[in-house]
Amino acid sequence: MNRGTDPSRGRYLALYLTGEHPCSYLEGLRARTLFVDPTARVDNATYQVLVDQGFRRSGAHIYRPACRGCARCVPVRIPVRLFQPNRSQHRNWKLNAADIALADTPAVFDPRHYELYRRYLAERHPNGSMADDASEESYRRFLVEPWGGSTHFIELRLEGQLIGVAVTDRLEHGLSAVYTFFDPGISHRAPGTFAVLAQIETAKRLGLPHLYLGYWIKESRKMTYKERFRPIEAWDGRRWQRFERPRPLDLG
């Protein structure tokens, strides 16, 4: 067990380090996870401090990778006022914003959300551990049960029908994109990209400077979409700085 300082409260938080386990991002690698004492009271101010040091949330657990000899998981965030969409992102917003309505709803259990979540996992991630346990209980633990901060569901509706949900934590200085799931039948409209663009616009409207996107890993194709949002900043373990990885080709 380690102790981490929470400058917002002038107190210490207990941090626990797991043993090694299979990496959930890259096959064949071993990982360790540093996580905050799950019994600690973590309010929004404390959560902001943790997120600004590269932590993420999964259900009630706030964690950060702490792997031996590996720093592949890079926390990234978008400074929303400086964001400049590329051509495909601009087209995505123009197409989807024309007929997809956005609604900010409380983070409560809704059977329609849960059914969409199950369909999404079954079709988009059929071989993943989450699809193996897509029970209502696991869904509630992951996305619904209160944990101490402020969470909102941004619903995406097409002609009145629910087609997607972006689960978003509202911090003091930004939004944190927790998880997005959508109707696999509309994948051709790139709803995941649209959800990020919607969260950028929401952060702007609320006067919040950042959208936190969690971890980016160079070798993970599933995370390539994150580096397409520019400018983007990365946490290097000491400070946030502009992420200078070459912009991927905009082929759309």
The Cα–Cα gap between 80 and 89 comes to 14
User: Token digits for 186?
Assistant: 């509309």
Which pLDDT belongs to residue 252? 45
List average pLDDT for each run of 10 residues in the chain, which is 252 residues long: 54 90 92 94 92 95 94 96 97 97 95 96 80 84 88 96 97 97 95 97 97 95 92 94 66 44
Which pLDDT belongs to residue 53? 96
Going along the chain from its start, the domains and CATH numbers come out as: 2-73 (no CATH), 76-242 (3.40.630.30)
CB-based burial, 125-157: b 16+ in 10 Å, e otherwise:
eeeeeeeeebeeeebebbbbeebebebbbbbbe
The Cα–Cα gap between 192 and 197 comes to 9
